[in-house]
Structure 1
């Protein structure tokens, strides 16, 4: 295993693993071969997510003979998002690459994604697009197409293939996002929220030859539920009152109009006590008031969170031209920070 004292590599490759013992030797060998063909140094963080098929022991054996392989062994099966986050917490490179362990992603495409990051300073994330996908049409392709269209239209991040695990990032983007639950499906959306400029490149895809797929058609329904969370997170995280309060007003307004109409009828001598419309109006007003109160509570919690030193409200870089650095030298600690920003 690579010692933390060794120089930081240029690239950190993160691969979540769950019961892939048959693929691991080929995976490590093919990643090593792909990275040997380009000049950047690298490390491979293989995160075992509580495998029960001998993958953990296989990783230990491979690490003993592979200095750039760093196994990360989770205590139990936590899920793909947690496995990726465990790898992200340990990356040391200035570029971060992710891919699956089933060898359906092509390791030889990793340099292609890295080259795009190196040559295009306007791109922070490169997402793979399995243009010629080698999966069953009904069980995998159709649910994926539905999910891609839903996510693209809801989040505004238009990609052909959200589900492709082969992606490359600049390190600051990875440092700004946190994964939990099943948010690994929405990394491009989270990256956009963190300020990333995203592009997509076609990559190769292979049919699975060993192991068993962990995905099914029920995944599409879970994506819809997670998508609600992501849309709320992207649009209303800083202003929950706009979400809950807006819904509350939409409920309370027709309820108030109904009660006003019934009041007019009452003033003209009509009996309104037995009308179902009275109950509807009262329920709408009460529900609207509850939603508005929930929004106010959310605003209070958001204020407390940020004022107590929670996650930053924004991410920014300060541009300082080289001539200003020369004419106005800063103190030592500030000079180091400025150099890092400009670089």
Structure 2
């Protein structure tokens, strides 16, 4: 991950919001401006209803689609910060940038395209905050593949098959049913304890799941919906990058086991 951070638009918390919120929600974006108003409205409706203080960190890869002006407008009514990356690209590194700057006790990553239901966020947070002596899970996943989880029919059979094959290839790294999900939560200290982070492609959740050494993984069922606006970022290049990423993670696990 590059350490050459560029200046970004900083918007302080709105009145009444603590400097250290309960939750920081990291949302990587590239040309997702048309989805952000609905996402932010639903996100803060969900956290407000759950009694959680939250901030949203929009990490944008220089979309030039009005995201900057839109975030400035959204920040008038919600604690939204924009981190604008001029010279770096990629969902995984964008997520890591946001996670490194989030101030919440719990860190959440989700997509901007409304495929992940913001209404499920409080359940993810509750899973890692814990209500018992164990202190909750180390890592919580918004899961498509546990009982109660489902995928919108509009996603298409080929994409569902592609997702299940990719998931099966990761079985030697984790027992999680949906380890490739892009909607997940972890505590700040879990993120800080991760091994060296060097993701390839866009499956940052799998990178964090493996390198944090998470032992207790909770999966919260969600309904995954296909985007209705904008275009998918999934390409053949991203699929090949995933295979390279898997190789690196299997090698990491082998080295850790031998140590």
Report the TM-score when normalising by structure 1: 0.63
Q: Deviations over 1:116-174 (max 9, x none)?
A: 22325241111111231121111x21111111000112x1x022223321111111111
Looking at CA atoms only, which structure, 1 or 2, has the larger radius of gyration? 1
- Superposed, 1:249-328 pairs within 5 Å as none
Q: Which runs of 5+ in 1 are unaligned?
A: 241-343
d(CA) in 2 for partners of 1:75, 1:186: 21
Match for residue 24 of structure 2 among 12, 17, 20: 12
Match for residue 142 of structure 2 among 104, 122, 128: 128
Q: Which runs of 5+ in 2 are unaligned?
A: 1-10
Cα displacement (A) at 1:70: 1.2
Q: Larger % of helix: which?
A: 1
Correspondence for 2:7: none
Correspondence for 2:37: 25
Correspondence for 1:322: none
CA contact (8 A) 1:148 1:159 kept: no
- For residue 101 of structure 2, give the secondary structure of its aligned residue in structure 1: coil
Answering whether residue 124 of structure 2 is matched by residue 108 of structure 1, we say no
- For residue 89 of structure 1, give the secondary structure of its aligned residue in structure 2: helix
Match for residue 189 of structure 2 among 172, 182, 186: 172
CA contact (8 A) 2:13 2:79 kept: no
d(CA) in 2 for partners of 1:29, 1:67: 9
Moved over 6 A (4+): none
Cα displacement (A) at 1:55: 1.8
Cα displacement (A) at 1:88: 1.0
Q: Deviations over 1:81-103 (max 9, x none)?
A: 11111101111111111110000
Answering whether residue 161 of structure 2 is matched by residue 142 of structure 1, we say yes
d(CA) in 2 for partners of 1:186, 1:72: 18
Correspondence for 1:269: none
Answering whether residue 77 of structure 2 is matched by residue 66 of structure 1, we say yes
Cα displacement (A) at 1:77: 4.5
d(CA) in 2 for partners of 1:94, 1:122: 13
Q: 1:80 to 1:180 in 2, by over 3 A?
A: farther
Report the TM-score when normalising by structure 2: 0.82
Cα displacement (A) at 1:8: 0.7
Q: What is the aligned residue count?
A: 236
Correspondence for 2:200: 182
Answering whether residue 175 of structure 2 is matched by residue 158 of structure 1, we say yes
CA-atom RMSD in angstroms:
2.4
Q: Larger % of strand: which?
A: 2
Answering whether residue 240 of structure 2 is matched by residue 221 of structure 1, we say yes
